[in-house]
Amino acid sequence: MNLQIIARQFAADTHACAMQMMENAAYIQKELPSLDMPESLRAQIEELCAGLIATKHDMVHELGEMDGPLTSVPYQIEPWMERLHRWMKESIFSIDRCVQAVDEAVTNGKASDLVLMLVMESATNIMSAVPALPETEDPTEEESEQGDSHCT
């Protein structure tokens, strides 16, 4: 498949993921004040939300910056996709740390199950939206090139 087509699909999927980050962070921020939990946990969740919103802004900006080069500078496409994917994976790592902290607080009776449900549901929504980093080389082309080299 054409690298530019792959990149455009990845860009669309990445934009959808960025929107999930923002929507779920905003939802958590809206619901958080009504839930009982230690202030340190609340601060960690608020920090996660701020980070998700910041990553969304960075991703959308990066998507806008790369729109022209997708057609004019193809050698920049793979590093661009790798950078965006790395940002999404970093967000997933932050989400995972926060989920673990909330789970521990619930297990120790310091926070209600509602806090865990709120964070877990949003984490699931975001993690489900993260696109896989596409393969940019066509394995069938590689095989045919290898097959051609053995011809006499």
How high is the pLDDT of residue 152? 38
Which value, in Å, is the radius of gyration of the alpha carbons in the chain? Answer: 20
Residue 44 · residue 32 · CB < 8 Å: no
Claim: this prediction has a pTM higher than 0.75: yes
How high is the pLDDT of residue 73? 63
How high is the pLDDT of residue 2? 83
How high is the pLDDT of residue 25? 98
pLDDT in tens for each of the 152 residues of the chain?
Answer: 588 888 889 999 999 999 999 999 999 999 999 999 999 999 999 999 999 999 999 999 999 887 666 666 666 788 889 999 999 999 999 999 999 999 999 999 999 999 999 999 999 999 999 999 988 764 444 444 455 544 43
Answer left, alpha or beta for residue 38, where phi above 0 means left and psi between -120 and 50 means alpha: beta
